[in-house]
Chain A
Amino acid sequence: MKRTSGKRKLWRERFSILWSNSLAKTGLVVIVLYLIVAFLGPYFAPYDPYQLDLPNTLQAPSSEHIFGTDEFGRDIFSRIIIGAGISLSVGVMTVIISSIFGGLLGAVAGYCGGAADSIIMRIIDIKLAFPEILLAIVIVTILGPGLQNVVIAVGIQSIPMFARMIRSSVLSVKESDYVLAARGLGASHLRILFKHVLPNCMAPMIVLATLRIGTAIITASGLSFLGLGAQPPTPEWGAMLASGRNYLRAAPWVSTIPGLAIMMVVFGFNVLGDGLRDAMDPRMKK
């Protein structure tokens, strides 16, 4: 009972540090708004995002279409709203993939040490030999284009960050007195790892996950922009931006608005991630 209230107090303290940071607060508000749009969007989108309206192509923003229409007369506002859900699911799914696999690899490397650590970290080094988007391109080339494959590619691409972070956290946590005490009481390695070590590595994991959602959204939209991700007519922001390229002179809003949407959301995740880092580990605060 006492332990739970202590934990609750710690999280309350962290939240109050986060709330006192005005930039992080802005990020939190942006992300909450984004989540509302992503979840409730389909219910209040004014038009069908897939509905062609050829007499009304490339209409400038107006009271009827507040973000204008695209080259097929589709309402950009409705497409942005539906696209919010797509980019959120891409961001979250990639982070789930990378945190599960990266977390497990990092935990095994950090906890077991020795040969397991060396082998896992050398594999991670090889992955790090590929610049950010390049490995994702390689994976999508192998799997074929499509949103699902982009999620897998970006997820795999982010595994090393999670593995390295969890490894370093595990290395410090595993020497703690309570872990030594659990070992002394005869707890199995699996129990120590999952019950005592990993739960205490959650704070940096949450920070990294928040920051990586933003990066994943940018990378996935970049792949869609290159034609390797979401395929038409999916209202994915990167793909929408790419289709608007050809009408940059006549209808700049077709490309501008999806880009602004990506930037706002990534900005939100970045400042929230920074704020969370300060709140979870006040020593990091500059």
Chain B
Amino acid sequence: MFDYFVRRLFQAVPVLLGVTIIVFGMVHLIPGDPAEILAGTNASIEDIQDIRQQMGLDKPLVEQYMIYMKNIFKGDLGTSIRTRRPVLEEMLPRYVNSLQLAASAVVIMLAFGITTGILSAVKQGTWIDYTSMAISLFGVSMPVFWFGLMLMLFFSVYLGILPTTGIGTFKHLVLPSLALGAHSTAVVARLTRSSMLEVIRQDYIRTGRAKGLNEYSVILQHALKNALIPVVTIVFLRFGALLGGAVLAETVFAWPGVGLLMIEAIGNRDYPVVQGCVLMVSVSFVLVNLMTDLIYPFLDPRINLK
């Protein structure tokens, strides 16, 4: 087990390095002088010169990358061109908001996705099964930004019970998390259903029923426990994806998360912020995936760690 953990941790290192290379390379791939790009359109010649020296942009690329990495480890992700504040300072509160949104989407995914999946499997071939699977099929086909607008239209414009945009109260969180979580909920519902169907055909379930256990304990205590193993993995992986994929939901609801910050920064050509956001989101994504791999053996002891 220990060997597996160490091996898996080491496997994550080149991936994380690759991410930093891509983020570092971004500015160099944009046509033009990287110092001018990082200094912004209104920068003076002195500003550009300062950035060039500070980031070693007159040095060879490898050396520049080393400086970039050294700065990352010091928590220095550069300075925002627009606000002149450190990028990390700009990003952290936004990151917390994105985490909050992703976590609420996961709660929706668990509550609706798993329940729908179990119901569909238990009532296989009935109208409940057909209806919920039809809804989930549309759920996986629906663009998040369109669903967000439709939720806004119905709950905010027509019913007037939930706010359209903003942050601060529980009510503000409902629509963005529903919009963000819809696609994942549909995926989890479909997966739970197929996983449950596989498990409830197993011999030990038949044995449980033959022993006279009631249906409630057969499903919830025996079947669900085993059926949820692949589902939990997907839930963790989706959490990582939701952190990065929240760009669209955040834009629709003007939710001040990292995704919206990144889109605003792209619009303002504030490349240090864009780099910081991409780095933060992708590193979080890698770490969540790593965590999923690390807890997987605990969830399913049958996994061969070799």
Cβ–Cβ < 8 Å partners of A242 in chain B: 145
Task: Name the contact of B241 in the complex, choosing from A131, A138, A228, A252 (C-beta under 8 A).
Answer: A131
Are B245 and A286 within 8 A (Cβ)?
no
Task: Name the contact of A131 in the complex, choosing from B29, B251, B281 (C-beta under 8 A).
Answer: B281
Cβ–Cβ < 8 Å partners of A263 in chain B: 138, 141-143, 146
Interface size class of A (residues with CB under 8 A): 35 or more
The A238-271 residues at the B interface (CB cut-off 8 A) are 238, 241-242, 245, 248-249, 252, 255-256, 258-259, 262-264, 266-267, 270-271
Cα distance A271–B152 in the bound complex, in angstroms: 28
Q: How far is the CB of A258 from chain B (nearest CB, A)?
A: 8
Q: How far is the CB of A79 from chain B (nearest CB, A)?
A: 16
The verdict on A130 contacting B282 (CB below 8 Å), with A218-B143, A226-B247, A249-B157 known, is yes
Q: How far is the CB of A225 from chain B (nearest CB, A)?
A: 5
Task: Name the contact of B143 in the complex, choosing from A125, A126, A222 (C-beta under 8 A).
Answer: A222
Task: Name the contact of A245 in the complex, choosing from B29, B149, B278, B289 (C-beta under 8 A).
Answer: B149
Q: Is A51 an interface residue (CB 8 A)?
A: no
The verdict on A241 contacting B145 (CB below 8 Å), with A129-B286, A133-B245, A248-B152 known, is yes
Are B281 and A134 within 8 A (Cβ)?
yes
The B245-281 residues at the A interface (CB cut-off 8 A) are 245, 247-248, 251-252, 262-263, 266-267, 274, 278, 281
Q: In terms of DSSP, what is the predominant structure of the interface of chain B?
A: helix
Cα distance A69–B5 in the bound complex, in angstroms: 59
Cα distance A3–B144 in the bound complex, in angstroms: 47
CB contacts between A and B, total, < 8 Å: 131
Cα distance A138–B15 in the bound complex, in angstroms: 17
Are B15 and A131 within 8 A (Cβ)?
no
Are A132 and B29 within 8 A (Cβ)?
no
Are B278 and A138 within 8 A (Cβ)?
yes
Are A132 and B245 within 8 A (Cβ)?
yes
Q: Is A137 an interface residue (CB 8 A)?
A: yes
Q: Is B30 an interface residue (CB 8 A)?
A: yes
Chain A residue nearest in CB terms to B281 = A134
What are 26 A-B contacts defined by CB distance under 8 Å? A23-B137, A122-B14, A122-B18, A126-B14, A133-B247, A134-B245, A134-B278, A134-B281, A134-B282, A137-B266, A141-B274, A221-B143, A222-B145, A225-B145, A226-B248, A226-B263, A245-B252, A248-B149, A248-B157, A259-B147, A262-B143, A266-B141, A266-B143, A267-B137, A270-B141, A286-B198
User: Which 3 pairs between the two chains have the least Cβ-Cβ distance?
Assistant: A131-B244, A259-B146, A126-B18
Q: Which B positions have Cβ atoms within 8 angstroms of A?
A: 14-16, 18-19, 22, 26, 29-30, 137-138, 140-147, 149-150, 152-153, 157, 194, 197-198, 240-241, 243-245, 247-248, 251-252, 262-263, 266-267, 274, 278, 281-282, 285-286, 289
Q: Which A positions have Cβ atoms within 8 angstroms of B?
A: 23, 122-123, 125-126, 129-134, 137-138, 141-142, 214, 218, 221-222, 225-228, 238, 241-242, 245, 248-249, 252, 255-256, 258-259, 262-264, 266-267, 270-271, 286
